[in-house]
A and B are shown apart, each in its own frame.
Chain A
Amino acid sequence: AAGVIQSPRHLIKEKRETATLKCYPIPRHDTVYWYQQGPGQDPQFLISFYEKMQSDKGSIPDRFSAQQFSDYHSELNMSSLELGDSALYFCASSYTSRNTDTQYFGPGTRLTVL
């Protein structure tokens, strides 16, 4: 079965640079979630989109923004990168309209800020 696709899988950036992470949800899924997992930490919710509209917001820094496009893929844009942004960034998707409530996670993008 098709899974959530994330690209790139690994990304290395310098401080103060920008980064864009992409997420392609499971086909027919209408909701995308972004989570950040720091080293040795549990995943922390950043932001979510339902039918291309922001549906919920967590602990996302103002330096970060995200959107969901007409084909339901999502991008997380990160500016003025800091060392503390080094983490594993997960995208998850679900089929909210069916209320199945299961979020399926992608393999993650490992961001390293030097």
Chain B
Amino acid sequence: AQSVAQPEDQVNVAEGNPLTVKCTYSVSGNPYLFWYVQYPNRGLQFLLKYITGDNLVKGSYGFEAEFNKSQTSFHLKKPSALVSDSALYFCAVREPDTGRRALTFGSGTRLQVQP
């Protein structure tokens, strides 16, 4: 069964500093990986995805993520954090070889960017 782990409940970073939100996954085949962001009382907003190709994926709002197959990781990064980036971030995985399209989410990481 596919699963996702986000080991940090919360990440604190100062505005202007680089940020990393960690995600590791477990699947039996090749993964499709996604990052979503959730602001208070809002829906999940798609940030970026890895399907195939370059391991470094660039997404919305300056975010990027690096797929590392050997470490089964897909960490979210941004070179310079903004206060407005403060939100709840979810990593998700889908295993296309199973034919299932449902996403399995991690437990979420709350990002707090201090001014």
Contact = CB atoms under 8 A, between A and B. Distances in A.
Interface residues of B, number: 23
A108 B102 CA distance: 17
Contacts of A101: 32, 49, 51, 94, 96, 101
Contacts of B106: 42
A58 interface: yes
B103 A103 contact: yes
A45 B43 contact: no
B3 to A, nearest CB: 11
Q: Give chain A's interface secondary structure class.
A: strand
Nearest to B45: A105
Interface of B: 32, 34, 36, 41-46, 49, 51, 90, 94, 96, 100-108
26 contacts: A4-B43, A31-B101, A33-B101, A35-B103, A41-B107, A42-B90, A43-B44, A43-B103, A43-B105, A45-B102, A45-B103, A45-B104, A48-B102, A56-B101, A56-B102, A90-B43, A94-B101, A101-B32, A101-B96, A101-B101, A102-B46, A103-B34, A105-B43, A105-B44, A107-B43, A110-B41
